[in-house]
Every structure is written in structure tokens, then in C-alpha cells.
A and B are shown apart, each in its own frame.
Chain A
């Protein structure tokens, strides 16, 4: 058969918050979320309540929550942060997720991802904000080595799917 063995799908919608703030804000968030926001860029942490925290840089995180939770979580964090300098923003519609799975997933991704995603250096649980097919993506390797999620700015979603479909070569 022609092409790479990969399936491309759009995962269920989730809530997403963009969190900016210094060490004090991080501590406030940690307490509020019941788990630690990761401190180093391109690290991923699972937090209680089915939340995922991606560290973009030491004062910048994306917090993924279940759909519909973004409002309540945002309000509780805002309340806790109070007057301490911070910026919390609902970005649930800013990004769009695409899920790739299958044995050839890396064969497809290496066509557009310039960072090293070899299983030795990018195993399950890895994440990176990086260049992807001339745009920006949050690239995450999920539990098993052959499932990836890519979050792109939502106006690029269709392009990204078209691009991946082309890269798949079917």
C-alpha cells in the first residue's frame, strides 16, 4: 500500500487557559490546582482533575482542562491571584488540536518538525513548542510512543490537517 500508516483525527474539545506570571503566581496556581506547574520550558505535568500543564517558558503555561471547566477554573485562579501581577486568559478557541496515531507517526511528523523527535530524546510524555510545517505548534507525545497531539493556532487547523494528509502520502 502507498503512504504512511497514520490516522489523523480531531480529539474532543477541551478548555485551555494561558497563564502568565512570576514565581509568586506559580505558587498561587500550584496551591489552587493541587499540583505543580512545571518550571522548565517544554515540560508537561498532569494535575489533579484531569488537567495538563504545558510549560512554554518559566513564566508562561498552557493549562488544559476538561471542556466547560475553563470558566470556573479561570475565575478561581483570578480570585486567588488578586492584585499580584499576572495575566490569565481563556484561549480555548485560540488553539486547535489534532491527534496523530499509528506506527508511522514519526515518519509523517519529521517532514515538518525540525526538532529531534527520536524516541530516545522525545519519548512518551514529552512536549515542545516548535516550528511545524511553517507554523507554530505545541507538539506532545502521549502515553504510547505512537500517539502525538499537535496544537496549532485555530486559523491554521485546516491547513495543518491538509498538510498532514499530504505528508501521509495516501
Chain B
């Protein structure tokens, strides 16, 4: 049960959040420009990073906001670099 320091709500149990995937993979602006292979790579090759990665999490049982946080997949250490995912 990792502890996530939500920028709005403070430290909350992981069970209040929903994981929303890696935050450094924006959806291609123009998917038609991509080849079938490149599009497949975007859709199906989900990064599984060992170490620190930026991730989206949805605080569904709290402030209801999507936040971006830095997490180390080896230790589950969560850095307080929790930044709004959206327009704020």
C-alpha cells in the first residue's frame, strides 16, 4: 500500500488512486502520419521502466484530479514532484 502525496489532499493510500499510465507518451498529434507499425508500437508497446518514471494517477477517491508523479518502480518510492496533470 504505497503512500502518494497528492498536491491537493496530502498523503493518501494508493487505494484512493487509479493508475493512468506513463506520462511521457503523449498521444500522437496526427495518427494518420504514422505507419501501421509505428502506430502499433504506440498502442501496444507499453513502457515498463525499471527505475524512475513519470506517471499519471487519478485521485478518484479524493480531489478527483489527475496528477503526475515520479515513482521508482524498483522501490515504489514516490517523489513529491507531484504536478497537476491538467490546466490547473
Contacts and interface: CB of A to CB of B under 8 A. Distances in A.
Interface of A: 40-42, 56-60, 114-115, 128-131, 136
B63 A131 contact: no
A123 to B, nearest CB: 16
A60 B12 contact: no
Which applies to chain B's interface (DSSP): helix, strand, loop or mixed?
loop
B79 interface: no
Interface of B: 8-9, 12-13, 15-16, 60-65, 88
B8 A58 contact: yes
Contact of B15 (A41, A58, A131): A131
Given A41-B8, A128-B9, A136 B61 contact: yes
A129 B63 contact: yes
Given A57-B65, A115-B12, 5 more contacts: A40-B8, A42-B9, A114-B13, A130-B16, A136-B61
B64 A56 contact: yes
9 contacts: A58-B8, A60-B64, A114-B15, A128-B9, A129-B9, A129-B63, A130-B62, A131-B16, A131-B61
A2 B12 CA distance: 32
A115 B5 CA distance: 12
Nearest to B84: A58
Contacts of A60: 63-64
A130 B61 contact: yes
Contact of B16 (A40, A57, A58, A114): A114
A114 B63 CA distance: 15
